[in-house]
């Protein structure tokens, strides 16, 4: 019986909207923005800060600064008071919360490395949602981005995610063998939702009387 659905995605593919519709249809909890909010509460930092550092590596200058803090007595004493929630700290908390959500069950978890953390969990179905680059740009424009902003985001966000996945799991983004189902969102959100629901139903089999 599948109790956990992870949805990884290319930026601009519409996965957030698809995941929300799937969660509503299943009556399951959606862990997308709720996961970011929970991480921010746990770390006592601004959720916008968490959003900027999720599924990303810290920049080189920040890693060097962090190494300096750890390497000096004064820095090590001051680090907690600086309220530093770096990418690695956010990743660690994300993993803990992803695993807790999966343990609770009836969860739709979007990104945050969830498909990789839960790859050996037998009651989890892993889905990857993608779209052609031009379609992603158009979708982002429909959400209010300029064409220039949409192109830059479609390129840079997935580049950051790819770097995050390689650094933490040693695989390329996306590695097909980590996913049970890959969905091209150009079929339309409703069709994508139905494909995912049909896959869940097929795996779980017919209901027993």
In order of their start, the domains of the chain are 4-57+85-204 (3.40.50.300)
Q: Note the pLDDT of residue 84.
A: 54
Q: Note the pLDDT of residue 50.
A: 84
Q: Note the pLDDT of residue 55.
A: 77
Q: Note the pLDDT of residue 46.
A: 82
Q: Note the pLDDT of residue 209.
A: 45
Query: Which residues 6+ apart lie within 8 Å of 124 measured at CB?
Result: 2, 3, 4, 5, 6, 102, 118
Q: Note the pLDDT of residue 73.
A: 41
Q: Note the pLDDT of residue 173.
A: 94
Q: Note the pLDDT of residue 82.
A: 41
Q: Note the pLDDT of residue 58.
A: 54
Task: Give the residues of the chain that fall short of pLDDT 50.
Answer: 59-70, 72-83, 208-209
Q: Note the pLDDT of residue 72.
A: 44
Q: Note the pLDDT of residue 135.
A: 97
User: CA 56 to CA 111: how far, in whole Å?
Assistant: 12
């Amino acid at each position: 019986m599948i109790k956990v659905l992870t949805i990884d995605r290319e930026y601009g593919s519409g996965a957030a909207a698809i995941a929300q519709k799937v969660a509503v249809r299943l009556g399951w909890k959606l862990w997308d923005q709720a996961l970011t909010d929970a991480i921010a509460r746990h770390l006592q930092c601004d959720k916008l800060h968490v959003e900027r550092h999720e599924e990303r590596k810290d920049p080189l200058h920040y890693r060097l600064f962090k190494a300096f803090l750890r390497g000096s007595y004064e820095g090590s004493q001051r680090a907690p008071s600086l309220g530093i929630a770096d990418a690695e700290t956010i990743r660690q908390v994300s993993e803990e919360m992803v695993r807790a959500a999966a343990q609770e069950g009836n969860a739709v978890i979007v990104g945050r490395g969830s498909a990789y953390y839960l790859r050996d969990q037998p009651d989890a179905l892993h889905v990857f949602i993608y779209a052609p680059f031009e379609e992603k740009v158009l979708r982002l424009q429909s959400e209010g981005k300029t064409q220039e902003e949409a192109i830059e985001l479609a390129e840079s966000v997935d580049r950051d995610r790819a770097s995050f996945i390689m650094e933490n799991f040693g695989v390329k983004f996306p590695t097909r063998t980590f996913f049970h189902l890959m969905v091209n969102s150009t079929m339309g959100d409703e069709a994508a939702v139905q494909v995912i629901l049909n896959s869940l139903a097929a795996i779980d089999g017919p209901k027993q009387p």
